Amino acid sequence: MVRQSIDGESATAWAADFGAIYRIDYNNTRIGARINNLGSDLTFYDIASPLPLIFSVGASMDVFETDGTKVTVLADATKPQDAEQLVFSGVEVSLFDMLHVRTGYKLNYQGVENEKVDETTGAIFDAPTTEEGLSFGVGADVPVPGLDATVDYAYTDFGILDSVHRISVSLQF
């Protein structure tokens, strides 16, 4: 369920994400695809606004593995319905099956501009869509009885927003 409020008016829509992963028995290769925001429109003042439909396809492979160390590379191509295609790439180094060091880069993010219209004057101008690019992070598997627990930290240089830090905790049971 998606709910949004603007200036006292609210709208609700329903959406679902679908995806699949195919595992190949070669260096733990995985190929995946997903579609996001498949569902209804948000309607404000009798004007329907579709959710941003996004399709992605990607792959990853373990390119190096020894006792206690594994290196995985990945690439992902994402096509938002209303924007240019984006490409993500990354590398993860896993140490002792519990410490994970990651870096990634978002290609076609910096310098991508959309044509916008000033609603007041009607002037047309180019506006950057985002300024993301290089990111890096670290994760650790935390031993918790009966759970698979992971703590992750990520850093992204985000241009006008300066440095963005993300922390997440994942619990699987």
From the list 161, 117, 165, 169, the residue with the least C-alpha distance to 142 is: 169
164 bridge partner residues: 156
Residues 142 and 108 in one domain: yes
Instruction: Determine the Cα–Cα distance for residues 158 and 59; give it in Å rounded to an integer.
Output: 25
Instruction: Determine the Cα–Cα distance for residues 159 and 162; give it in Å rounded to an integer.
Output: 5
Instruction: Determine the Cα–Cα distance for residues 160 and 121; give it in Å rounded to an integer.
Output: 26
Domain count for the chain:
2
Residues 10 and 55 in one domain: yes
Q: 91 lies in which domain range?
A: 83-173
Residue 75 in domain: no
| pLDDT given for residue 61 in this prediction | 98
Instruction: Determine the Cα–Cα distance for residues 68 and 91; give it in Å rounded to an integer.
Output: 17
Total residue length of the chain: 173
Residue where a domain stops, chosen among 11, 27, 61:
61
Residues in the chain where the model's pLDDT stays below 50: none
